[in-house]
Structure 1
C-alpha cells in the first residue's frame, strides 16, 4: 500500500487487546509491514536530514530519546487491532481474497518495491527523473490516482504523520535553543497545527507523484479497476482503520519524544 497510515478502541481493561492473526495476515498481504518499516526508518534518519537547526547534542539525543518509539512492530499491531475493530471477520476474509488475486498481488509488489527502505535513495532518484518527463497526456491517470488517494485517505494520514514529526523536530529545536523563545508543549502543538494546510498540499503533491511512479507499469484499465475497488465501503473502512492507527501511534510517540528531548536538554544544563 502507498501510504503512509486509525483510531482503535481503547479497552477498559488494563490488558492490551490482542490483534487477530487474520487482521495481521491481511496487513502483510497488502504490504503494510513494508510501509511501517519505511516509516520507522524515516523517523530514525530525520536528524541527518534536518541540518543545522538541530544542535549536535539533540541529534545525538534523538536516537536515545526515540528508543521504543515509531517502531514498525507497534504500527503493525496497532493497525491490526484497528482493523479488527472496524471490520467483521467476513469483511476481513473478503478483502484477503481480493488481495490474494494475481492482479492484486502484482500491484502490491509494485507498492512494496517503491517504498522498500533498503532501496529508498535509488527509488527517490528514479522517481524524480521519471516525474520530470511527464506531460499533459498523463493528466487522465492523475485523475484516477486522485480518486485512489481519496479512497485510501492517504493525504489525511500523511498530513497527520508529518505534523507529528514536525512537533518532535520543533521540540528538538526548542531543546537546542534554536527557536526565538521558549515554548510550552501546548504552544508548540498550536504552532504545528497552523502548518496543516501547507503540509497537506505538500503531502498531496508528494503522494500523487509517488503513486504515479509506483503504478507506472499498470494499464489505464488496471489502474481504473483498482481505483474503483478502493471506493468500496469495505476498502474505505480498511484503509481508514490503518490511517487512524498510524496517526494514533505518531501523535503519541511524537509527544513522548518531544518531552524526552526537553528533559535530556534540561539535564545537560544542571
Structure 2
C-alpha cells in the first residue's frame, strides 16, 4: 500500500572513539538536515496526499469535483502534516541513536561526498513520483542486466549491505497491517475481522510486494547513483559496512516504519468512519 522509506545510511572514515560520545540531543537536528530528511518528508507527504486521493476513489466512487468530501481531504492533509511526520521520525531516531557516535555520522553527511549523495538521493526520490521517470528507470535496469553493466554489481552489493529489500518489504507489510488495524478499530468490518485473518491477508501480499520492491529499489538506485563514479559508489558501500553505518541504517528504517505505521493506522481509522457514513 505505502512505499517504505528508502534512505541511505553511511558514516565517516574517521576512527570511532573508544567510548561513543552521547551527543544525540545536540547532533540529531543537524544530522537530520544533513541527511536531507526535511526534503524526504516533504516528498513522502506529497506521496501520501496522492495515495489519499486514490483511497478516496475507492471510498467515494470517483475523483471528479464534488465526489470527495472536503473533510476527507482535510483529514488526509492532517495525517500527513510535516510536524506530525517529523515528530515520529525524530523520536524514533533519538531513541535508537542514543549512545552511538552521531558525530561521526554528521561528519560524513556534511562532507562534500555526503552532500552530493544526499542531493542525488532526494532528486531521484522526487523524480520517481513521475510514473514515466519510474518506467524509464526500470527499463534502465533491464538494459544494465542485458549488457552486464558492471555498475549493477555495485548496486547489488549496496542493496545487500543495507538489507534494502527485506527492510522495505517488512515496512510495507507492517504498514498494510496497520491500515487493517485502523479499519477494524474504526468499525469497518461488521462481521468481524480477526487479527489472524488480517495477518493472513497481509502475508498473502508478500510475494507481490517483494517483486515490486526489488524492481523499484533497483530502479531508484540506478537513477540516483548514475552520476557517481564506481570509486565513490564503492566508498559508499564501505561506509555502510561499518558498525555505525549499520546502526544508522537500521535506525532510519525503524523510524520510517514507525511513521508509516502511524499514518496507515490513522488512515484506516478515518476511512472506517467515512465508510460508516456512506452507502457503500
TM-score band w.r.t. shorter chain: 0.7 to 0.9
1:20 paired to 2:25:
yes
Instruction: Give yes or no for contact 1:4–1:35 (8 Å, CA) kept in 2.
Output: no
Inter-partner Cα distance in structure 2 for 1:80 and 1:173: 27
1:101 paired to 2:103:
no
Instruction: Give yes or no for contact 1:79–1:241 (8 Å, CA) kept in 2.
Output: no
Instruction: Give yes or no for contact 1:47–1:59 (8 Å, CA) kept in 2.
Output: no
The alpha carbon displacement at 1:245 in A equals 1.4
TM-score by length of 1: 0.75
The alpha carbon displacement at 1:184 in A equals 2.1
Instruction: Give yes or no for contact 1:163–1:193 (8 Å, CA) kept in 2.
Output: yes
Change in Cα spacing, 1:233 to 1:73, as seen in structure 2 (3 Å) is farther
Q: Is there any run of 5+ residues in structure 2 with no aligned partner, and where? A: 8-23
The alpha carbon displacement at 1:44 in A equals 1.1
1:84 paired to 2:97:
no
2:261 aligned residue (239, 251, 268): 251
| Cα deviations by residue, 1:52-72 (Å, 9 ceiling, x for unpaired) | 654438964753443532444
Change in Cα spacing, 1:169 to 1:255, as seen in structure 2 (3 Å) is closer
SS class of match (2:172): helix
Change in Cα spacing, 1:252 to 1:208, as seen in structure 2 (3 Å) is same
Q: Which residue pairs with 2:6 in the alignment?
A: 4
1:120 paired to 2:126:
no
1:226 paired to 2:236:
yes
The alpha carbon displacement at 1:170 in A equals 6.7
Q: Which residue pairs with 2:200 in the alignment?
A: 190
Q: Which residue pairs with 1:11 in the alignment?
A: none
Q: Which residue pairs with 2:46 in the alignment?
A: 41
Inter-partner Cα distance in structure 1 for 2:183 and 2:91: 34
SS class of match (1:218): coil
Instruction: Give yes or no for contact 2:165–2:213 (8 Å, CA) kept in 1.
Output: yes
Instruction: Give yes or no for contact 2:138–2:216 (8 Å, CA) kept in 1.
Output: no
Task: State which drifts further: 64-73 or 246-255.
Answer: 64-73
Alignment size in residue pairs: 249
Inter-partner Cα distance in structure 1 for 2:199 and 2:271: 15
SS class of match (1:97): helix
Q: Which residue pairs with 2:274 in the alignment?
A: 264
| Cα deviations by residue, 1:127-180 (Å, 9 ceiling, x for unpaired) | 355445434444532232223223434323422443355457778999xxxx9x
